[in-house]
Structure 1
């Protein structure tokens, strides 16, 4: 029943509890209790809006590969968390330590953000590439910053 409830919410998260109850053939209070439990347990972390046009289409995006000094990774990640332009920060294996997706309104802003990252204590190297076009996207938003690459 929880899977069916979640599937209905994924098609339209604005459905009323009464509408959901009718579709699931359950009492409204039962649906309400299930929703509260799913939220409390963290299965449902929030509700979102599905936009017909992405408001970030005009934004500049870049991928940055960052190498950091040993034992400085945690401090650098904490500082990156204060940069709203950094949409994704993942630790990776290989020559670099961090993968960043950076998004800014203009190319000049992107340059400023990368300069700010390079100046963080412990950052040894930052290689960046500007995203020219999105050709394939198979991920779905999981709750927050991830909206497109």
Structure 2
């Protein structure tokens, strides 16, 4: 995958606002709209751009209680545990990591009691040996 400096600038603009009009991107990059559209199509086709997603505002997220749940799993349980976690709507992100823990799940619930039940539910999944959770107080940087 070849990503030029101009492609990098394009990706930075899309990361800032994926709905930015092509004309605005073209103006900011100093290239034509056709060039921007062609670059975006190539980056999508090459798998550099995997998709476009909704980014929720901090004001909306502040109404939810969010937490990181560090999860230790039994040997050979990764696929099954990941599938179960993927079926839980409140699990917004799941990372496979190295170190003491095997997975980090980012979860969101409307209240502390809902969060508590959700953490218990995660702990009851077959193959989950241990969890450790930390409530997110605020987000300092989100890109």
- Specify whether residues 61 and 22 from structure 1 end up closer, same or farther in structure 2 by C-alpha distance, changes over 3 A only: closer
What corresponds to 1:93 in structure 2?
Answer: 99
- Select the residue among 28, 33, 49 that pairs with 1:44: 49
Flag structure 1 segments of 5+ consecutive residues without an equivalent: 141-149
Q: TM-score, normalised by structure 2?
A: 0.74
Q: TM-score, normalised by structure 1?
A: 0.72
Give me the CA root mean square deviation: 2.7
Q: Is the 8 A contact 1:88 1:100 kept in 2?
A: yes
- Select the residue among 115, 121, 125 that pairs with 2:126: 121
Secondary structure at the aligned position of 1:55 is classed as helix
What corresponds to 1:143 in structure 2?
Answer: none
Flag structure 2 segments of 5+ consecutive residues without an equivalent: 1-5
What corresponds to 2:140 in structure 1?
Answer: 137
Comparing both structures, which one devotes a greater share of its residues to helix?
2
In the TM superposition, what whole-angstrom CA distance separates every residue of 1:112-136 from its partner, at most 9, and x where no partner exists?
21221122112222233333x22x6
